[in-house]
């Protein structure tokens, strides 16, 4: 073995082999049809969520947004907050390169997060590209955070204690929404949970060069994602698409996680450094031997279960 080869978690290897043996392989987004990619993603999500037990109170909602009704799913904690207080709320944007992913494929992760944190979650089924382009998804996430701040009491949550979060493309949307909330002077947003996000449109960082050449999330796929999501090249420098390049001062405190083998490792490292330089409280955990997209692999990978528990603890503390 090459001494420079990075260590890979054996459970990650086993999980990949298991998925391959069952035919759960998502085709290359740059060559397969969009319908094929989305269908394969949903099949994998269903397998990863097998055995997940619904919370006692899960509600499908259609909430008003700037481009029409936005389907959402509200997950309420099974146990009431101390003293019977209404729970805080996490508004969550799933990953999928802005062009795939759905509420059901993230059910099991969000149920675990809600159970362990005592914080409710609102999963947002924002509109996907290429059917719609930037900045529609961003505008829908911002609208859902503002709606929760304005009308959350009607959902049974505490509208004064909100967090925003997401994974991968969803973390991009979450950070951009937090910047928008800060710019609007809205005080209800207190925390961010950002999981291995793509925070810049640059795909040339050292971690991209090292980990973005083979299977999984590749440089060619990420370039295609940006070309598919954005309408015009000049939007690559828009802070709503590349929030890492925005003014981060005064944004809500953040908990960041990323795997050591993730092509987006440098995005999280750079964001953590810039938040710290801006005086924003931030914690970054790098999970060794793990690649992109691992948070939904809790039934197969112990590191994913540990990450969920640590995210839940950070979320609970950040919204206390």
Residues acting as catalytic residues: 168, 262, 292
Name the one residue in this structure whose structure tokens are 């609208």: 143
DSSP bridge pairs for 255: 193, 283
Pairing of strands 68-76, 57-65: antiparallel
Q: Is the dihedral of CA 282, 283, 286, 287 positive or negative?
A: negative
Give the separation between CA 183 and CA 171, rounded to whole angstroms.
18
- Encode burial over 128-165: b for 16+ CB neighbours within 10 A, e otherwise: bbeebbbbbbbbbbbbbbbbbbeebeebebbbebbbbb
Q: Are residues 199 and 166 in contact, defined by beta-carbon separation less than 8 angstroms?
A: no
Beta bridge pairs of residue 167: 195
**What is the per-residue DSSP string for 64-100?**
EEBTEEEEEEEEE-SSPPGGGPPPPEEEEE--STTTS
Separation CA 103–CA 97 (nearest Å) = 15
- Asked if 227 and 255 touch (Cβ cutoff 8 Å), the reply is no
* Separation of alpha carbons 179 and 173, rounded Å: 10
Half-sphere CA count of 291, side-chain side, radius 13 A: 20
Retrieve residue 176's tokens. 């951009």
With contact defined as beta carbons under 8 Å apart, do 75 and 58 qualify?
A: yes
Centroid of chain to Cα 81: 25
Distance between start and end Cα atoms, the chain: 47
Contact in structure between 263 and 195 (CB atoms under 8 Å): no
């Amino acid at each position: 073995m090459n001494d420079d080869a990075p260590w890979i978690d054996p459970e990650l290897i086993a999980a990949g082999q298991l998925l391959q043996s069952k035919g759960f392989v998502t085709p290359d987004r740059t060559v397969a049809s969009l319908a094929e990619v989305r269908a394969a993603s949903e099949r994998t999500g269903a397998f990863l969520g097998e055995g997940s037990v619904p919370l006692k109170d899960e509600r499908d909602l259609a909430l008003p947004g700037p481009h029409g009704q936005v389907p959402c799913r509200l997950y309420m904690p099974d146990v009431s907050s101390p003293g019977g207080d209404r729970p805080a709320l996490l508004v969550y944007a799933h990953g999928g390169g802005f062009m795939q992913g759905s509420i059901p494929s993230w059910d099991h992760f969000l149920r675990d997060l809600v159970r362990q944190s005592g914080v409710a979650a609102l999963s947002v089924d924002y509109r996907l590209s290429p059917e719609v382009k930037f900045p529609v998804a961003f505008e829908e996430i911002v609208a859902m955070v503002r709606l929760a701040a304005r009308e959350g009491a009607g959902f049974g949550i505490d509208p004064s204690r909100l967090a925003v979060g997401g994974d991968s493309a969803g973390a991009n949307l979450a950070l951009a929404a937090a910047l928008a909330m800060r710019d609007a002077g809205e005080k209800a947003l207190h925390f961010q949970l950002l999981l291995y996000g793509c925070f810049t449109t640059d795909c040339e960082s050292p971690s991209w060069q090292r980990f973005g050449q083979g299977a999984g999330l590749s440089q060619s796929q990420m370039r295609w994602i940006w070309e598919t999501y954005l309408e015009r090249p000049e939007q690559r420098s828009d802070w709503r698409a590349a929030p890492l390049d925005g003014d981060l001062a005064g944004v809500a405190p953040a908990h960041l996680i990323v795997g050591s083998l993730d092509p987006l490792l440098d995005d999280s490292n750079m964001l953590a450094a810039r938040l710290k330089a801006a005086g924003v409280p931030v914690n970054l955990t790098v999970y060794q031997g793990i690649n992109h997209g691992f948070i939904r692999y809790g039934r197969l990978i112990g590191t994913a279960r540990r990450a969920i528990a640590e995210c839940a603890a950070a979320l609970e503390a950040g919204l206390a």
